[in-house]
Amino acid sequence: MAARECTRCAELAATRTSVVFGAGNADAELMFVGEAPGANEDLQGLPFVGAAGKLLEQLLGEIGLSRAEVFIANVLKCRPPGNRDPQPVEIENCRPYLVRQIELIQPRVICTLGNFATKLLRGDPAGITRVHGQPEVRTIGEHTTRLYPLFHPAAALYTPSTLETLRADFVRLPGLLALAGPARPDAVPDPVAEPAPEPLHDSAPATQLGLF
């Protein structure tokens, strides 16, 4: 994949140290999609290696999973200067890489972390506060999956109430992973299909992958 040499976003290409494409289990049943790399991620070339990443690992451990069992990626593969918000054109430029990742990994469940990932993969402007913890079937590219929006761990680091909500939503993940994979709807607009609310039950888990 050409992500490592990508120059679609001139500013990001000029200021990045590395392209942070993603890391984890190439056959993961559970995938997390965040917003964009930060300073530590840009330096190390890996996603979620700072405080938010440690919290994510802690929450995974609390439900019996490890980082090695999941795949972690971001909407943007390059760090925005000063950690500013991703711009719409940057999200559009990077979307094909994320869609291809999802098609290759074929996760049973995708957790969108925060507003940017949630709005992109849901194809809807509803914010994370409104839709968190509500699983739904979506088709992304050629892969039909269960999308499960969550608050971004960074938002929970210093806000106890958000952490409590995030932890409560995390507890429901084993039940989602235990469900059979959703069937692809008949008619699918690109890049996502019509949502279908999902019930919740209970457990299953999901090497490093650098699809550069």
Q: What is 85-122 written as a DSSP string?
A: PPPHHHHHHHHHHHHHHHHHH--SEEEEESHHHHHHHH
Where in the chain are the domains? 24-178
CATH class of 24-178: alpha beta
What confidence tens digit (pLDDT) does each residue in 140-188 have?
999 999 999 999 999 999 999 999 999 999 999 999 999 988 887 654 4
Q: What SS3 class is residue 168?
A: helix
- The rounded distance, in Å, linking the Cα atoms of 51 and 14 is 26
Angle, CA of 78, 126 and 105, to the nearest 5°:
45
What confidence tens digit (pLDDT) does each residue in 100-149 have?
999 999 999 999 999 999 999 999 999 999 999 999 999 999 999 999 99
The pTM of this model reads 0.86
Q: What SS3 class is residue 148?
A: strand
